[in-house]
Structure 1
Amino acid sequence: MSVETAPRRRRLEPDARRGQILACAVRLFGERPYADVSTTDVAREAGVARGLVNHYFGAKKDLYLEVVRVMVTIPEVALERLPKGDLRTRVDASVTWFLDVVSRHSTSWLAAVTARGMGGDADVERVLAEAEEVAADRMLVAVGLAGEAEHREELRGMVRAYGGLATSTAREWLQRGALTRAQVHLLLTTTLLTIVEQVIPQVIVGDDSTRPAQPAEPPA
């Protein structure tokens, strides 16, 4: 979820050049609807030939899908940079990282999570769904629950639901201006701590009230 723009018109290594092109695409797709951005526009912005854009990313849609992916996927490096403190310290750092990233790339992030101009596209939905799964796994690592195997799917479901809350709350701040950053931070940290400290322990000990209802057996 973090892309930096490299200086233009320099001889760069392939990875750096690819990153430069992607950074320009992130910005352009954030500023304009999908239909209004071409690979020629991206190439011009990056200072490269259009063929190089196609070489690294394929067609325009492939490039767009990569933009969405990079904007909505939590990178592994975010986990590596979390402090080694207690749960509250790690939750606070996780929320701070998320808010820093979405505010730094607010226009591009909002365009990605709403898939502006591509609503209902199966490939976009697949990328968003994959990002949710990655986020679920990495959030469990962040809160120290990656090793909980017996209730893993239930915990991943809770974390996915929390991810939906995080996205909606960030939009209330960035898009609608209904909340301040401090209010969003408070809501997200308090909610995540409540889930980890109060809800998940009940699931792990097998409290029947937290278990999904089982379908009734058909009559004999």
Structure 2
Amino acid sequence: MTASRTRMSPDARRRQLIDLGIAMAGERPLETITIEAVAEAAGVSKGLIFHYFESKADFHLQVVREQAQGMIDRTAPREDVTDVLEVLRSSVSAYVDYVSHKGNAFIGVIRGAASADPDIRGVADRTRAVMSERILERIPEMGIERSPSTELAVAGWMAFVEETLVRWLADPVTTREELIEILVGALPLLSQLVGDTVGTIEQLH
């Protein structure tokens, strides 16, 4: 449905266009969203959109940035919980709920690492870095020392979570609660396994 044209401040108009892009990206892949479709939905000319964004690629980048920030904000650790595993469970639960409601948006962000656009790849990488750092800051509370090896394990866990969620979106063979327990339980096991393996190798040397 085409919106009727209304006068807006530059900031409000830019916000409107990004919000339309985010809404569309929740329904279909980002790369299929055209400037023409956004212009029609906003009730403005295509030329006006290029007043706010340098190109279609720039518009897509701003949409991905907003999606990524929304995901980061939604999964922020709870400050009223002290037990590290409960903090992790809370964040993973929020992550799963975000994915349940914004599947295409989630896929658009995490698949950004494979994008041909280096700026979109950068958004995906920074999003992972923020979420990984949250875990690494608290991992000593699990009795696991932070080290290059555990950083590698956390990066691997993030990839496991992402791929599991993509598959679950396509075919939810487990309940939400079962999925959360799988994801939460995998992190301390993987990190501890890496720590034990490194310790054994060091003893052998």
C-alpha change, 1:94 and 1:80, in structure 2 (3 Å) is: closer
In 1, the alpha carbon distance for the partners of 2:78 and 2:47 equals 36
Partner of 2:177: 182
**TM alignment of 1:28-107, pairs within 5 A:** 28-34=24-30, 36-72=32-68, 74-75=71-72, 78-79=75-76, 81-107=78-104
For the Cα contact (< 8 Å) 1:82–1:94, is it kept in 2? no
**Which of 5, 20, 24 lines up with 1:24 in the alignment?**
20
**Which runs of no fewer than 5 residues in structure 2 stay unpaired?**
none
For the Cα contact (< 8 Å) 1:91–1:192, is it kept in 2? no
For the Cα contact (< 8 Å) 1:140–1:156, is it kept in 2? yes
**TM-superposed deviation, 1:50:** 3.9
Letter in 1 for 2:201: S
Moved more, 74-83 or 126-135: 74-83
Greater helix content: 2
For the Cα contact (< 8 Å) 1:18–1:56, is it kept in 2? yes
Partner of 1:207: 199
Letter in 1 for 2:36: T
Which string of whole-angstrom CA distances, capped at 9 and with x for unpartnered residues, describes residues 139-166 of structure 1? 323x3559xxx94443332221111111
C-alpha change, 1:180 and 1:8, in structure 2 (3 Å) is: farther
**Which runs of no fewer than 5 residues in structure 1 stay unpaired?**
1-6, 215-220
Partner of 1:131: 127
Match of 2:76, SS state, is helix
Query: What fraction of aligned residue pairs are identical, expressed as a percent?
Result: 25
Provide the aligned C-alpha RMSD in A.
3.7
Whether 1:171 aligns to 2:166 is yes
Query: Please, what TM-score do these two structures have when normalized by structure 1?
Result: 0.68
What is the aligned residue count? 197
Match of 1:207, SS state, is helix
Letter in 2 for 1:83: D
Letter in 1 for 2:101: R
